[in-house]
Amino acid sequence: MPEQSIVSALVLGLIEGLTEFIPVSSTAHVLLAGQFLGFKSPGNTFAVLIQLGAIMAVLLVYFHRLLNIARDIPNSARARRFVVTVLLAFLPAAVIGVFAHGFIKSVLFETPALMCVVLILGGFVLLAVDRMKFQPKYTDVMDYPPSLAFKIGLFQCLAMVPGTSRSGATIVGSLLMGTDKRSAAEFSFFLAMPTMLGAFTLDLYKNRAAISVDDAAVIAVGFIAAFITALLVVRSLLDFVSNRGYALFAWWRIAVGSVGLIGLLFLG
């Protein structure tokens, strides 16, 4: 197994974990970094499969809360409604992901210039939304109505285009429909669990024949790196956005997208 592949996998795993749950598009960051590192994976599976590390991180952080919700389901209408809201929010991405998987992986994942442009445009959208003065109607994810959750799920579908950001799309959609910043970020965590697990399972199934033993080892390195860094991000993000908002992430998107376009122009 080439040492360069291991080092690249480590770097890309760190990038995945740091960016998965903040609104900057982890997929675009991993794919663009892989482009400049010369990192290749069959069918671009690496960028999707290492997301399992980030999934495990958020499951660990929310384990006790998820366990309590599961225990309350038989006796609590509130708990049952929350489960329904998450599943409803997941549904649109699940349907589109299954039917558009080939186009997403073979076209959108192979267009780095598009990712850079979307990063920049999304940065300006995030800046505009962050500066708006909202009057939140919903401050607890457990109280999100199913209709609101489904609409947030439609926003999540925008993240099929790399560079949009799954968390960014759900957070912006949530804020526009009356949630506060903290609960918007938290709902994106809960929605990430079925969404990312579904994407992982589908991609693994579709590309199972193309993954070798060496590929599995490289993916494992990226998985571990993503898990550790995502754990740090998930534990600190809610307090950060509650106090600081999303402007920092917006400027980061604009900077990365601009540098990416310059790099593509001069380096190819």
| pLDDT tens digits, 193-202 | 999 888 888 8
Distance (Å, whole) CA 214 – CA 229: 23
Give CB contacts under 8 A, 24+ apart, made by 149-152.
149/85, 149/86, 149/88, 149/89, 149/187, 150/88, 150/89, 150/91, 150/92, 151/177, 152/89, 152/177, 152/187, 152/191
- Please state the φ and ψ torsions of residue 138, each to the nearest 5 degrees: -130, 125
Q: Is 256 exposed, middle or buried (0-12, 13-18, 19+ CB in 10 A)?
A: buried
pLDDT at 37: 87
Q: Given pLDDT bands bounded at 50, 70 and 90, which one contains residue 4?
A: low
- Name the residue range of residue 246's domain: 3-267
Q: The tokens 């540098």 sit on which residue? A: 259
Give this prediction's pTM.
0.86
Lowest mean pLDDT among 82-91, 204-213, 254-263: 204-213
pLDDT at 2 exceeding the cut of 60: no
Q: Given pLDDT bands bounded at 50, 70 and 90, which one contains residue 184?
A: very high
- Establish how many alpha carbons lie within 13 A of residue 173's alpha carbon, considering only the half-sphere containing its beta carbon: 23
Q: How large is the average pLDDT for residues 59-78?
A: 94
pLDDT at 42 exceeding the cut of 90: no
Give CB contacts under 8 A, 24+ apart, made by 203-209.
203/43, 203/45, 203/48, 203/49, 203/101, 203/105, 204/45, 204/49, 206/43, 206/101, 207/42, 207/43, 207/45
Residue 164: which residues within 8 A CB-CB, separation 6 or more? 25, 118, 122, 158
Residues paired with 179 in a beta bridge: 138
Helix (H, G, I), strand (E, B) or coil at 107: coil
pLDDT at 84 exceeding the cut of 70: yes
pLDDT at 89 exceeding the cut of 80: yes
Cβ–Cβ < 8 Å for 18, 153: no
Domain count, the chain: 1
pLDDT at 168 exceeding the cut of 80: yes
Cβ–Cβ < 8 Å for 87, 194: yes
Q: Given pLDDT bands bounded at 50, 70 and 90, which one contains residue 1?
A: very low
Q: How large is the average pLDDT for residues 95-122?
A: 90
- Paired tokens of 256: 């990365």
